[in-house]
Copies of this chain bind each other. A is one copy, B any other.
Amino acid sequence: MVGFSASVIRRQQFLVRCLGGYNNSSKNFCSTIRMVSSMSGGGPSLEVDALSILRSITPSLDNSRHKGQAGKIAVVGGCREYTGAPYFSAISALKIGADVSHVFCTKDAAPVIKSYSPELIVHPILEESYSVRDEDKNSISAKVIEEVDKWMERFDCLVIGPGLGRDPFLLDCVSNIMKHARQSNVPMVIDADGLFLVTNSLDLVRGYPLAVLTPNVNEYKRLVQKVLQCEVNDQDGTEQLLSLAKGIGGVTILRKGGSDFISNGETVSSVGMFGSPRRCGGQGDILSGSVAVFISWARQHAAKGELSMSPTVLGSIAGSVLLRKAAAFAFEIKGRSTLTADIIEHLGRSLEEFCPVSR
């Protein structure tokens, strides 16, 4: 994705101004957005100073804080087939510093996810079609949303999709959860089968500025086809990403790849530093859990009027660079053997390097 146009540069300058504005109101923030020469195109790069952004939104820790103030995250995912993905997402949130991490999954998946870690709170409330009679669907669907609603207002961010599967009844229930999250103004990071759901039901997120979509190559392709009704064009990739985000009403899109590109239809940023050549499955789950935490932190600043830029964009940038650093650390030690759990074990070390506790 090397293309960019004059309008993109203008938007990029707007981003720099925004971040400069942020700088005025927060002593921790470094406004530098590096407009360095693009390696590929010879023009200005979209690479942002992701480390400064990460530092600016990561809260300092002190003894006056109570449980929950550093973030309460919930992952909606986990079914008969998939149990690892929601675990990776939820545990990553804790390892970064969230205080509480929940998982809402199917009854089959719950004991397994619980057994991975006693640190998670796992709610076995979802059902797949194979276990539900048609005449019970309405009542079960109502019960699912009732259970989630008990908790909804306590959550700072939801992650929708890791290990969700594609069962139609389950996806209907998850659509309801997303509608209620939106009514309650709870941000959502949407990945994996959550993107399958959203690509087929764009209204679930259209125009919701607190939604982040995190597509990989194939998921991005399907989104472009559905929204822009064309194929992915990497010659003009930046413009296309802007159009896509704008086309869904200003949601934030984190396009994963060799470099990650982030846009909410107003600006495009990229994060290309660090990373690993290992492509083991599960890294997207670390990203979704991480972005959820950083969004919740960024929104704490936003609530104090300290941000003039979207918390979903800042959270995506911070989540991206943290995963890339942790993956690099893990690869340094484990090489070809690197698994997702190895990367998760380096989230803490990476965050400490960027943002020491004692700063």
Contacts and interface: CB of A to CB of B under 8 A. Distances in A.
Contacts of A357: 277, 331, 335-336
Contact of A118 (B87, B278, B331, B335): B87
A100 B339 contact: no
A352 B349 CA distance: 24
A167 to B, nearest CB: 13
Q: Rank and list the top 3 A-B pairs by shortest CB-CB distance, nearest first.
A: A337-B348, A84-B118, A61-B277
Interface in A107-152: 108, 111-112, 114-124
A121 B278 contact: no
Contacts of A98: 280
Contact of A279 (B69, B120, B217, B351): B69
Given A81-B123, A112-B115, A339 B277 contact: no
Contact of A119 (B96, B340, B356): B340
Question: Which range holds the interface residue count of chain A?
Answer: 35 or more
A114 B114 contact: no
A281 interface: yes
Nearest to A114: B112
A241 to B, nearest CB: 18
7 contacts: A84-B121, A87-B118, A95-B337, A111-B112, A115-B116, A335-B348, A337-B351
A250 interface: no
Contact of A348 (B117, B281, B336, B341): B336
A238 to B, nearest CB: 19
Given A61-B278, A112-B115, 12 more contacts: A67-B280, A83-B114, A84-B120, A87-B118, A97-B336, A100-B281, A111-B112, A119-B339, A119-B341, A331-B357, A335-B351, A336-B351
Interface of A: 61-70, 80-85, 87-88, 94-100, 108, 111-112, 114-124, 216-217, 258, 275, 277-283, 331, 334-337, 339-341, 347-349, 351-352, 356-357
Most buried by B among A69, A339, A352: A339
Contact of A66 (B66, B85, B279): B279
Contacts of A87: 118
Contacts of A68: 279
Nearest to A72: B281
Nearest to A346: B337
Contact of A277 (B62, B122, B341): B62
B67 A118 contact: no
Given A84-B118, A87-B118, A337-B97, A65 B111 contact: no
Contacts of A349: 337
Given A65-B277, A275-B63, A84 B119 contact: yes
